[in-house]
């Protein structure tokens, strides 16, 4: 296995299809959504993402094959008065889990945050995902507060 982390180029079809495929595979896990991404999301995700400012999308690739992804968005900490980077999605293809790919993506996201002058990296984890919690703890993340949300769309 020779996996490296690269910036996603949303003008490259293989990056777009790989990104969507990994997120679709991840969504199918029972403790995530238990079903694949809706067809409307599959068809429009990368074109919509390409229009979002402050995105940082990193891909783990084995040769030309996308095997993992982290989708991050730049934010701002008013308490620190500095930018932050939020990891919105972190997913690794089943075949590559347990081989350090998630750690590589987290390290790359932290390095990108440093390059951007961020004060921290944030993320959320589902309580039903103990494997992810262990990965985040090994990578230096600490649970600090409860996350609440209000859904506004289906």
What digits encode the pLDDT tens for the residues 5-29? 999 999 999 999 999 999 999 999 9
H helix or E strand, kind and range, residue 69: strand 65-77
pLDDT band at 1 (very low <50, low <70, confident <90, very high): low
All structural domains of the chain? 3-138 (3.40.630.30)
Mean residue pLDDT of the chain comes to: 94
pLDDT at 120 over 70: yes
- Rg, C-alpha atoms of the chain: 15
Q: What is the pLDDT of residue 128?
A: 77
CB 103 within 8 A of CB 66: no
How far is the CA of 81 from the CAs of 5, 53, 88, in angstroms?
A: 29, 20, 21
What digits encode the pLDDT tens for the residues 56-96? 999 999 999 999 999 999 999 999 999 999 999 999 999 99
């Amino acid at each position: 296995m020779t996996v490296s982390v690269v910036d996603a180029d949303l003008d490259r079809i293989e990056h777009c299809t790989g990104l969507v495929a990994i997120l679709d595979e991840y969504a199918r896990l029972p403790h995530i959504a238990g079903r694949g991404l809706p067809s409307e999301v599959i068809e429009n995700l990368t074109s919509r993402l390409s229009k979002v400012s402050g995105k940082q999308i990193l891909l783990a690739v084995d040769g030309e094959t996308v095997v993992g992804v982290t989708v991050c968005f730049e934010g701002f900490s008013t308490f620190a008065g500095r930018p932050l980077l939020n990891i919105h999605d972190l997913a690794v293809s089943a075949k590559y889990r347990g081989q350090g790919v998630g750690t590589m993506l987290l390290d790359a996201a932290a390095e990108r945050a440093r390059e951007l002058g961020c004060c921290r990296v944030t993320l959320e984890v589902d309580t039903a995902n103990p494997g992810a919690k262990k990965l985040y703890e090994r990578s230096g993340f600490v649970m600090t507060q409860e996350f609440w949300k209000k859904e506004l769309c289906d």
